[in-house]
Structure 1
């Protein structure tokens, strides 16, 4: 295999993994009401169909990032792809909602192995001058998967049933494993002698789990209910404990010394706030069209396509600009686009909302996200030593996923918190909710509050991105 072709062959392998992991999330966002109705799931169980995957994936991204740095990335990536494919097949046979939730958690382990190794594999294979192109193509593939995911998910669940939303992942995974086995080079780990911080990881898992439990329960049970109070206390206590553990750990889960570098710290903070702001938009819009406008899953899937078209456009544009303009400028401009999109959704969401305005809002959020992600990721990966890239990417992915899981729980909590008890499950029931006009007005109010919250979170992301460096970004070998 000629050296000049290897980066592109490797990119074809990682693209299949990204395609698989992204399809898994985007198809289920549209299919959720059908899954909920099939199992007659409660509001809390409905939340955890999504949250179980996101929580486990978030924590184990860092665990596997360290393990990959120690033992090498090829075997870890291929094992993750194989495990994800097998569990996707089993998800379609789940006999009840709690078995499905457990399988989703197991599926998340494979997803974490895929995601934590993708960006470091690309970063190691591509020369610095072409890295921006490689990363932008990686994001473009994720964008295409996000684009076709809601449409494919809606089509499958509408014509074949919800089980095919999981079984559809299987052929993609099989092709990815076979192609990766013959293509990827075995590269030894570069952090020999280091160990996994199991105590830190377990503490983080249960701490974040407490927060997510509280957010998922508060919309149904109220702030003073036992699960909510217990979840908040668990989160606060374990967060304090976690920082003490990491402060004294020889091989910490999170290397806080990396955050002494201001551009690195601000880029990661921008990643978190951007993910916290925009991750639940597709889910909310897909549920909105099914609950309020009584659309079927396929039609609802078509109506969330603009956001992923926007990500594709933004990724293509920024791929040509990363070598000319700084990460600070490009990332901040991208977030401004997202901010305008959030403003439009907050203003225009409602009963019989104009498809043009809702689509425009999603398109701008997508373009802004596409412009933001590539230079911001490149900035993070190139400001750390080569042997720490697995850990750095793990932290970036963890913060992005943590933002996504909190965004999902928080936005659904806000929407349901304004509803009376008998309506709280209606958000997940699609066209089967049978709402009267007064009910619909309450749901719209919840949506407006949720999008307003996302708008303010985007402003925090803008501030973090802009403040990453007050001087000219000259620390890297080439401009980003």
Structure 2
């Protein structure tokens, strides 16, 4: 991969010459992130077609998505730890090779079992890429430009969520769902060419891989069992044998993980990192916000279709306002953070999101499309202004050699919070409808029942955002 010419080093011990390629490095990493985001949205759109083609039930086919999400959530920290031995850029390249090859295999899968297996392999590659991407960007830019770079990171995620459903629907309708995966192959080859040419960053790595296998396995099991338990309960709000079993497995694996990390000489996750409030509070903020965010994302379409009688395409256009606003707000938030280094930048973004969710709840009560449109746009602005400062603060809170772990923990918090948000939205909706005595299909519940239930969920999401606002602000106080 070539040598880096030694010259004057900056405060982090990185040769300044590295920064000459920072834009190429940023583009390379962002392509990888964009494709992983697109892949998730496109597969979601194609799921009904895949379910019909293989003639299977939704409870089986949904593992195409659930399995992918569970694996990614469980392995982010694992691969963040591995990167301390391999190096972040090398792990990024290995992960992208695995992602590309497994995408090819998904495209040629002949049955649902093979497709799920190849999706799990794809998730392993994606978790390698996503787990270290933030750290690579952080290492590649001078301190005065990190916020802006992380802002572009947030904008690319927004772009992926903006165009993903449309591209997924078009590909599925015209040439088949298989090409949702096959399109990754030529793009993957192009990205690998860029990676081998530009991802040349000096890194301090450990000479021996002392991996905490007990901690790694228990983390994967606790994440999987938690998601399975939430999914099981969300189906019919019943406490049954599978739910109890998943709950017991979760508790045992959680206790095992915490005990192992407290006694292990080389733990997967150093528990003492969380003694640092400058690191812990931004992670907690993004976790809480991810729960609220995905509650709002999942439940909104049910309101717009079931109460306001909009078509799925109209709902998609309305929800495009959120990533559209993020595309402009994320880079702006990063630039403002670089310029003013405001301690309250992430808290401001989260407070704007709080207002947007509460307004959206009122918009749902009143069935006022203008309030809904304004709230969605405000939601995107708040999320965009929050993302970059919060990510930068999390990375900056730990020593420079720990940025890979910081990146993987942050990504894990987002992913786990998102998964729980989806489950909570389903559970709260069913609880709200069951209180009224209704137990039929959600979209047939009627405008009044749906409006009351869904607006309540939005107020709960707003309250969660308010808690996230407080945690964002608390990091600035020396004594808490």
Superposition TM-score, scaled by structure 2 size: 0.86
Q: 1:3 to 1:232 in 2, by over 3 A?
A: closer
Counterparts of 1:140-155 in structure 2, within 5 Å, are: 140-155=155-170
Tell me which residue corresponds to 1:319: 334
**Corresponding residue for residue 391 of structure 1:** 405
Secondary structure of residue in 2 paired with 1:190: coil
Indicate the larger mover: 202-211 or 280-289: 280-289
Do 1:191 and 1:387's aligned partners in 2 also have CA atoms closer than 8 Å? no
CA contact 1:71–1:192 (8 Å) conserved in 2: no
Q: What's the secondary structure of 1:279's corresponding residue?
A: helix
Stretch moving more, 440-449 or 54-63: 440-449
Paired residues of 1:327 and 1:376 also in contact (CA < 8 A)? no
CA, structure 1 residues 278+211, in 2 after alignment: closer, same or farther (shift >3 Å)?
same
Deviations 1:95-136 (A, max 9, x none): 454443333222111111111121111111211111112211
Runs of 5+ unmatched residues, structure 2 = 5-16
Hey, what's the Cα distance between the residues in 1 that align with 2:19 and 2:237? 59
> 1: distance between equivalents of 2:420 and 2:269?
19
Aligned ranges 1:1-16 → 2 under 5 Å: 3-16=18-31
Asked whether the equivalents of residues 280 and 408 of structure 1 are also in contact (C-alpha less than 8 Å), the reply is yes
Q: 1:52 aligns with which of 61, 67, 78?
A: 67
The equivalent of 1:172 in structure 2 is 187
1:86 corresponds to which of 80, 98, 101: 101
Contact 2:237 2:427 in 1 (8 A): no
Aligned to 2:353: 338
* 2:391 matches 1:377: yes
Please name the residue that 1:130 is paired with: 145
Deviations 1:265-296 (A, max 9, x none): 11111111111211354444456656777766
Match of 1:247 among 250, 254, 262: 262
* Alpha-carbon contact 1:314-1:370 (below 8 Å) kept: yes
Distance 1:343 1:147, change over 3 A: same
Q: CA 1:415–1:87 in 2, change beyond 3 Å: closer, same or farther?
A: farther
After TM superposition, give the deviation of residue 7 of structure 1 in Å. Answer: 0.9
* Residues 150 and 304 in structure 1, CA contact (< 8 A), matched pair in contact too: no
Q: How does 1:80-479 map to 2 (within 5 A)?
A: 80-185=95-200, 187-286=202-301, 298-326=313-341, 328-349=343-364, 353-416=367-430, 436=444, 438=445, 444=451, 446-471=453-478
The alignment of Structure 1 onto Structure 2 pairs a total of residues equal to 461
> Post-superposition shift, 1:462?
1.2
How much does 1:246 deviate? 0.8
Supply the distance in 2 between the matched residues of 1:27 and 1:171 (Cα, whole angstroms): 17
Higher mean alpha-carbon deviation, 86-95 vs 51-60, is at: 86-95
Three-state SS of the structure 2 residue aligned to 1:320 is: helix
Moved over 6 A (4+): 290-296
In structure 2, relative to structure 1, the CA distance for the partners of 1:458 and 1:229 (3 Å cut) is same
Please provide the CA RMSD for this pair: 2.9
Distance in structure 1 (CA, Å) of the matches to 2:306 and 2:187: 31
Q: Tell me: CA distance 1:332–1:317, structure 2 relative to 1, closer, same or farther (3 Å).
A: same
Tell me if the contact between 1:22 and 1:145 (Cα under 8 Å) persists in the aligned partners: yes
| TM-score w.r.t. length of structure 1 | 0.86
Q: Is the 8 A contact 1:39 1:96 kept in 2?
A: yes
Change (3 A) 1:173 1:443: farther
Q: Secondary structure at the match of 1:129?
A: coil
Contact 2:18 2:140 in 1 (8 A): no
What's the offset of the Cα at 1:215? Answer: 0.9
Q: Check whether the contact 1:66–1:390 (CA below 8 A) recurs between aligned residues.
A: yes
Q: Deviations over 1:182-239 (max 9, x none)?
A: 2221645523335222211211111121111111111224331112121122212221
Note closer, same or farther for the CA distance 1:9–1:208 as it changes in structure 2 (3 Å cut).
same
